[in-house]
A = this chain, B = another copy of it.
Amino acid sequence: MNNSQNDPGEFGLIDWMRQREGISRSRWTKLGIGDDCAILQPDRGSDLLVTTDMLMDGRHFRLQQDGPRAVGYKAMGVNLSDIAAMAGVPRAAVVAVALPRAHATELAQGLYAGMHELAGQFEVDLVGGDTNAWDGPLVISVTLFGEATERGAVRRAGAMPGDVILVTGTLGGSLFAGRHLRPEPRVALALAMHQVVPIHAMIDISDGLSSDLGHILAESGGLGAVLDESAIPIHSDAYDMSRKDGMCALDHALNDGEDFELCLVIAARDAARLLADPPAPAVLYRVGVVTERPGLRLRGADGHERPLVSMGFDHFRTVEDPP
């Protein structure tokens, strides 16, 4: 970790952060920015959650169009979403950046502003980082630390046949109007739900519902699921996208990535309770059930089931490809 730069006239993301992060928001922070390592003091006996996500220009954002602040916001947001998916409490983050040389200072400050916005909202300390300049495109990598609650971290494994599948918001078309840049990490909602009912399994929808639910089913011992076609909550962006590309809105909702809603699996009786009295301001949708029979199926209004091929977010697609 290189927390200082030789030339203070050059980009100073880390120094800049250090000045602004003097007041600690998290009780974990013993030593923040400015040494070879940060020092954290996790609560005694608590489980430490760790997640890392890297965003690259042209892959996860378009710097020219989106601007550095949006990039910093997204970089922090996608990591917060991973902590939410374990029903954890975010505490602290470190950030590493490769800045295009020409606008390094300006970019660093914009990135910081975006990260800071979410860090403040979620009481996360930025405790360290590594700043580099190069001739390549912007790359930012955030690693976030959180804490599991006394009820434990919720994993992908744990779904059981007969369990109900819920999602926390409408899905699809996140690329259409830039919603993929503004994740709203469901940290508070996950914690609230986890207090009320045992969550068997959970994941955040980054690759698309069909893919991410597929991860839960695979990790839970090779189970399957039936999704109700009429119950899939479709975001208005998915309809807009549909009008643009001719693919049906439902498919966008099932397969588009970067919604950053949660997909959770709970016992049927708990689902009934939760849907009857959801933690405010949650909007919860019951989208289907887990089955012993492997594979994903989609049940139409007529009751017929057809196999659902998990398309998911294409990790090789770039945001610069036309949708």
Instruction: Name A residues whose Cβ lies closer than 8 Å to a Cβ of B.
Output: 1-2, 4-7, 10, 30-31, 34-42, 44-45, 47-54, 56-59, 79, 82-83, 85-86, 88, 92, 94-98, 101, 127-130, 132-137, 139, 141, 143, 145-146, 148, 153, 155-157, 202-204, 206-207, 211, 215, 219, 310, 312-316, 318
Interface pair A51/B39, CB less than 8 Å apart = no
Q: Which residues of chain B come closer than 8 Å to A207, judged between CB atoms? A: 2, 6
Complex CA distance for A148 and B39, rounded to whole angstroms: 9
Q: Are A156 and B34 in contact (CB under 8 A)?
A: yes
Nearest B-chain residue to A6, judged by Cβ: B312
- 9 tightest Cβ-Cβ pairs between the two chains A and B: A54-B96, A141-B141, A36-B85, A1-B51, A143-B143, A37-B49, A40-B48, A36-B82, A37-B51
* Chain B residue at minimal CB-CB distance from A211: B6
Rounded to whole angstroms, the CA-CA distance of A98 and B1 in the bound complex is 19
User: Nearest-CB distance from A294 to chain B (Å)?
Assistant: 17
Q: Are B50 and A128 in contact (CB under 8 A)?
A: yes
Q: Which residue of B lies closest to A316 (CB)?
A: B133
Chain B contacts for A53, CB-based, 8 A: 1-2, 96, 130
Rounded to whole Å, the gap between the CB of A176 and the closest CB of chain B is 21
Would you list 20 pairs from A and B whose C-beta atoms are within 8 A, ordered by A residue? Answer: A2-B53, A6-B315, A7-B315, A10-B316, A30-B47, A36-B204, A37-B88, A38-B51, A39-B47, A39-B48, A50-B94, A50-B143, A53-B96, A54-B96, A54-B97, A56-B139, A59-B98, A96-B143, A98-B139, A136-B139
Q: For residue A146, which residue of chain B has the nearest CB?
A: B37
A191 to chain B, nearest CB (A): 14
CB distance from A155 to the nearest CB of B (A): 5
Residues of B near A48 (CB, < 8 A) are 39-42, 48
Known: A36-B82, A58-B134, A136-B58. A145 touches B44 (CB 8 A): no
Instruction: Check B6–A59 contact: CB distance below 8 A.
Output: no
Asked whether, in the complex, the Cβ of B52 is within 8 Å of the Cβ of A136, the reply is no
Q: Are A51 and B315 closer than 8 Å at their CB atoms? A: no
Q: Compute how far the CA of A157 lies from the CA of B137 in the bound complex, rounded to whole angstroms.
A: 35
Contact (Cβ within 8 A) B6 A310: yes
For the complex, give the distance between the alpha carbons of A49 and B42 in Å: 11
Contact among B82, B96, B153 for A1, CB-based, below 8 A: B82
B38 touches A49 (CB 8 A): yes
Residues of B with C-beta under 8 A to A132: 54, 56, 59, 315
Chain B residues near A153: list those with CB within 8 A.
Answer: 31, 37, 39
